[in-house]
């Protein structure tokens, strides 16, 4: 079965700082990869997703993520964070031959100080 690890549970940054959140997964087959964001008191929303092609994918609100197959990683980045990026971020993996089920990482809580 696939698993997803997010190594940073809590991250605190100042506005304009750069962000990188780590995500590693364990599965040897073809995967689809997602990052979701959960703003305080809200439901999960899709930030970006990777299925195939260019391993650098761009999502909403200036976020991007890079799929590195050899490292089983899909790290989320943003060059300059804003206070409004304060949220919890979840990485998720869907194994192509596992019934298209999503497995989520434990989440990273980001706080951006104004």
Which chain residues interact with another protein by CB under 8 A?
A: 4, 6, 9, 32, 34, 42-46, 49, 51, 90, 94, 96, 100-102, 104-107
Beta carbon of residue 26, minimum distance to another protein (angstroms, whole number): 15
- Least separation, in Å, of the C-beta of 67 and another protein? 15
Q: How far is the CB of 81 from another protein (least distance, A)?
A: 22
Give the separation between CA 52 and CA 56, rounded to whole angstroms: 10
In the complex with another protein, which residue's Cβ is closer, 13 or 102? 102
| Secondary structure (DSSP) of 69-109 | GGGTEEEEEESS--GGG-EEEEEEEEETTTTT-EEE---EE
Instruction: Tell me whether residue 28 or residue 114 sits nearer to another protein (CB atom).
Output: 28
Please tell me the distance from the alpha carbon of residue 66 to that of residue 11, in angstroms, as a whole number. Answer: 19
Cβ(15)–Cβ(114) under 8 Å? yes
Residue with Cβ nearer another protein (3 or 14): 3
Measured between alpha carbons, how far is residue 19 from residues 37, 78, 93 in Å?
14, 5, 21
Cβ of residue 114: shortest distance to another protein, in angstroms? 24
Nearer to another protein, 17 or 22 (CB): 22
């Amino acid at each position: 079965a696939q698993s997803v690890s997010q190594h940073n549970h809590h991250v605190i940054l100042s506005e304009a700082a750069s962000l990188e959140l780590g995500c590693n997964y364990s599965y040897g087959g073809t995967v689809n990869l997602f990052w979701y964001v959960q703003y305080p008191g809200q439901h999960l929303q899709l930030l970006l997703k990777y299925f195939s092609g260019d391993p650098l994918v761009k999502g909403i609100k200036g976020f991007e993520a890079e799929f590195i197959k050899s490292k089983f990683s899909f790290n989320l980045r943003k060059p300059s964070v804003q206070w409004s990026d304060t949220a919890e971020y979840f990485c998720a993996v869907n194994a192509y031959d596992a019934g298209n089920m999503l497995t989520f990482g434990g989440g990273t809580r980001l706080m951006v100080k104004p």
